[in-house]
Amino acid sequence: MSDILKREVKFVGGVGEVRQRLLEREVGVRTVGDLLMRFPYRYIDRSRIFSLSEVDENMENTYIQLRCRVVGRSFVGDGPKRRFVVEVTDPTGCAELLWFHGVNWIEKRVELNREYIVFGRPSIFKGRISLVHPEIEGVEVALSRKVESSFQGIYSTTEKLSQTITVKAMHTIVHNAWQLVASIPDAFSDPLSEAMRQRYGLIPLKEAIYNLHFPQSKERLKQAQYRLKFDELLGVQLTIQAQRTSRHQRGGGFVFGRVGDAFNNFYYKKLPFKLTGAQQRVIKEIRADMVSGRQMNRLLQGDVGSGKTMVAFMSMLLAVDNGYQACIMAPTEILARQHYATMARMAEGIGVNVAILTGSSKSKERRTAFEGIASGQIDILVGTHALIEDKVQFSNLGYVVIDEQHRFGVEQRAKLWTKNHQPPHILVMTATPIPRTLAMTLYGDLEVSVIDELPPGRKPIHTYHYYDSARLRMFGFLRQEIAKGRQVYVVYPLIKESEKMDYKDLEDGFESLSRDFPLPQYRITVCHGKMKPEDKEAAMSQFKRGEADILVATSVIEVGVDVPNASVMVIESAERFGLSQLHQLRGRVGRGAEQSYCILMSGDKLSKEGRARLEAMCQTNDGFRLSELDLKLRGAGDIHGTQQSGDAFELNIANLATDTQIMELTREVAIDILSRDSNLQMAENQGLRTLRDRHCKRPRIDFSDIS
């Protein structure tokens, strides 16, 4: 990088000490380079002048230009409410311009009957157009001024920053900064060689940066954006693919060459249903990894109810057939117990021993597990985090399955890696559908399998949104369903920050339900995170055995619970849940033959996004579509809790939700480059090295916060 880019931004015309501090504090811009690498998020065509008759509600919050004549000017109001109001017209209509600050300054610059170019964001109230604090300039000056580009970039700003540096001032500052570097030929050293640029049709870096700030045409702008996105995503992919290659080169995976009695006996004698095509395919994919001689590291995505447990179990039998132990780790006690029950039943009579170990295992259960695991007596161990403890010593662990993996942190998972002299094969399963682009970024070093087919005979769940005011109607519906012998979940949100309030909501809800659904006709039970494990377990099994009609719960039941007779899921304050969590909860019903329903209850006032989420839920049952939408609504940074993805990779211009094609291309490019120079050591690859280091902090993949 040239020195000029490292100079403090205060040396740029129009900045100075005060603005330097402001820019640094508000948007992290310290140097000329920082300033020039911050690109507009939107462009306005400044050759386009709108007539007032064209302005409508859809333009609120977008910048437009008008050409108007001043027909009235006056001060209105007193004290802090005093404002300067200017009436303007053009041949098609009229509007009002308003200033609350700097009124004396602006007042001197506005003359009656003169024509101005007005630039700002219109708002419309009762049919009247107004613009608050627009920029204005006399028509003669505005039209005669030579501009760098007819597209004006709009840079993201903050409330504070925008008070000092207007849209136009920012534009000027960037322009001045550009003047400093424009004549220096190597101001930006291009990380991509000429040959590479040719091959992928990319314009030079400097040209791209110039066109991002001052697009010379729409076409140029597109090319510039493409170039910068390519750089960013290539940086990301070089990091990810390097991890993958090094894992492959390390080699050393257990080889499970045999398909033996455990698998065959189960398959031919015990399998309770026909596998779906997707289940079969995934089992084959896993098996191919297990005989490859490399350690498997595979992500299995499958919508709720798609039958991941069976895939896990059958692939575990392959480990057992080859003399290895397998374990499956689930995020909650309830889920672990349920997996244990299912798997112990499936393993009966095929000579496979299954045991359980959780945090609340009693001493006898613990002892059995510890001893059996160490001696090799136990083939499959089912459990929670307790499996990670150092005390758990396997005799020969060969395969680890992690269910609902987003609940575990990386470190927790990594500990399982060390439970044998060489790392076991790993399968992580998730029902939180991660959009493909994001999966590629976050799991570039994992292979991905997808179960994209539900077991036959499932009826799509009908989803409805009710406002709280329609609660009695909802109750009526529940009575109908219960009368048919069905069971109902009622779920309350549990958001960490307001736990106390949330439990209060649940308690109030339980009380009110108890009044409306009185004993002995209706039986209601409660299950939430604050209860003792045995009480939770008791409540769940009561519900499972059909001895309760309604289960009132917090989102603890979100994961994995399987009660086929439950056909209604009521989600309270549904607007407070994220889309993927709503979808997970909905997946608790629709597991039996009956038509199932999901009812989203919400307050009457909804934010735009809250409404969009609920509408999306009513429209589709497809988890992958919902997750794509979630990504669009929330942005990639948000979707994985706090500082994930977008932040782990400092993405400036590329968008994980939409830049799928470039992502896939750069993945191929990265694999190709690394196959010839795995550490980017060749002289010709030094630029790529900086690209990788510039755009990529080490990714932190920690899903413990997703819900």
Look at residue 455 and give the partner it binds from Mg ion, ligand ADP, none, a contact being a CB closer than 5 to 8 Å depending on partner kind. Answer: ligand ADP
Among 591, 613, 667, 695, binds ligand ADP (CB under 6 A): 591
Strand segments (E) across 468-565:
487-492, 524-527, 550-554
Stretch that binds Mg ion, among 101-109, 387-395, 454-462, 552-560 (CB under 5 A): 552-560
Instruction: Determine, following the binding rule CB under 6 A, whether residue 271 of this chain makes contact with ligand ADP.
Output: no
DSSP 8-state assignment for residue 266: I
Name beta bridge partners: 428.
299, 402
Among 31, 152, 297, 306, binds ligand ADP (CB under 6 A): 306
Q: Which two tokens stand for residue 536?
A: 């939770």
Among 45, 148, 562, 638, binds ligand ADP (CB under 6 A): 562
Decide if 464 contacts 597 (C-beta within 8 A).
yes
Instruction: Determine, following the binding rule CB under 6 A, whether residue 463 of this chain makes contact with ligand ADP.
Output: no
> What's the min distance (Å) between Cβ of 332 and ligand ADP?
13
Specify the residue, 207 or 562, whose C-beta has the smaller distance to ligand ADP: 562
Instruction: Determine, following the binding rule CB under 6 A, whether residue 455 of this chain makes contact with ligand ADP.
Output: yes
Specify the residue, 153 or 433, whose C-beta has the smaller distance to ligand ADP: 433
Instruction: Determine, following the binding rule CB under 5 A, whether residue 235 of this chain makes contact with Mg ion.
Output: no
Instruction: Determine, following the binding rule CB under 6 A, whether residue 93 of this chain makes contact with ligand ADP.
Output: no
Instruction: Return the ∠ at Cα 87 (arms to 110 and 163), rounded to 5°.
Output: 60
Q: Which two tokens stand for residue 613?
A: 């989420």
| End-to-end Cα separation, the chain, in angstroms | 42
Rounded to whole angstroms, the Cα distance separating 681 from 655 reads 29
Specify the residue, 33 or 302, whose C-beta has the smaller distance to ligand ADP: 302
Stretch that binds Mg ion, among 198-206, 293-301, 414-422, 556-564 (CB under 5 A): 556-564
> What's the min distance (Å) between Cβ of 449 and ligand ADP?
12
Dihedral over Cα of 617, 622, 624, 628: its sign: negative
Instruction: Determine, following the binding rule CB under 6 A, whether residue 331 of this chain makes contact with ligand ADP.
Output: no
How many amino acids of this chain bind ligand ADP (CB under 6 A)?
Answer: 16
DSSP 8-state assignment for residue 81: G
Instruction: Determine, following the binding rule CB under 6 A, whether residue 452 of this chain makes contact with ligand ADP.
Output: no
Instruction: Determine, following the binding rule CB under 6 A, whether residue 622 of this chain makes contact with ligand ADP.
Output: no
Q: What residue has token string 């480059």? A: 673
Cis ω before 134 (30° cut-off from 0):
no
Rounded to whole angstroms, the Cα distance separating 588 from 584 reads 7
> What's the min distance (Å) between Cβ of 594 and Mg ion?
20
Decide if 286 contacts 296 (C-beta within 8 A).
yes
Instruction: Determine, following the binding rule CB under 6 A, whether residue 304 of this chain makes contact with ligand ADP.
Output: yes
Q: Which two tokens stand for residue 230?
A: 């390519």
> What's the min distance (Å) between Cβ of 614 and ligand ADP?
23
- Strand bridging mode 597-602 / 566-571: parallel
Instruction: Determine, following the binding rule CB under 6 A, whether residue 276 of this chain makes contact with ligand ADP.
Output: yes
Among 94, 124, 154, 275, binds ligand ADP (CB under 6 A): 275
Instruction: Determine, following the binding rule CB under 6 A, whether residue 279 of this chain makes contact with ligand ADP.
Output: yes
Instruction: Determine, following the binding rule CB under 6 A, whether residue 315 of this chain makes contact with ligand ADP.
Output: no
Specify the residue, 290 or 451, whose C-beta has the smaller distance to ligand ADP: 451
165: left (phi over 0), alpha (psi -120 to 50) or beta: beta
Stretch that binds ligand ADP, among 33-41, 204-212, 305-313, 379-387 (CB under 6 A): 305-313
Specify the residue, 233 or 427, whose C-beta has the smaller distance to ligand ADP: 427
Name the closest residue to Mg ion (Cβ). 560
Decide if 478 contacts 469 (C-beta within 8 A).
no
Burial of residue 274, with CB atoms counted within 10 A of its CB: 0-12 exposed, 13-18 middle, 19 or more buried? exposed
Name the closest residue to ligand ADP (Cβ). 307
Stretch that binds ligand ADP, among 151-159, 160-168, 220-228, 303-311 (CB under 6 A): 303-311
Name beta bridge partners: 355.
381
Decide if 68 contacts 136 (C-beta within 8 A).
no
* 153 phi and psi angles, rounded to 5 deg: -75, 140
Rounded to whole angstroms, the Cα distance separating 149 from 1 reads 26
Instruction: Determine, following the binding rule CB under 5 A, whether residue 560 of this chain makes contact with Mg ion.
Output: yes
> What's the min distance (Å) between Cβ of 300 and ligand ADP?
9
Decide if 587 contacts 564 (C-beta within 8 A).
no
Specify the residue, 560 or 590, whose C-beta has the smaller distance to Mg ion: 560
Stretch that binds ligand ADP, among 126-134, 228-236, 269-277, 688-696 (CB under 6 A): 269-277
Decide if 301 contacts 356 (C-beta within 8 A).
no
- Taking CB under 6 A as the rule, which mask of x and - marks residues 477-496 in contact with ligand ADP? --------------------
Count the neighbouring beta carbons within 10 Å of the beta carbon of residue 272: 7
Instruction: Determine, following the binding rule CB under 6 A, whether residue 310 of this chain makes contact with ligand ADP.
Output: yes
AA identity, residue 200: Y
The residues, ordered by sequence, that sit 6+ positions from 362 with a Cβ below 8 Å of its Cβ are none
Instruction: Determine, following the binding rule CB under 5 A, whether residue 587 of this chain makes contact with Mg ion.
Output: no
> What's the min distance (Å) between Cβ of 352 and ligand ADP?
18
AA identity, residue 453: E
Instruction: Determine, following the binding rule CB under 6 A, whether residue 302 of this chain makes contact with ligand ADP.
Output: yes
Contact residues for Mg ion (CB under 5 A)?
Answer: 560
Contact residues for ligand ADP (CB under 6 A)?
Answer: 273, 275-276, 279, 302, 304-310, 431, 455, 562, 591
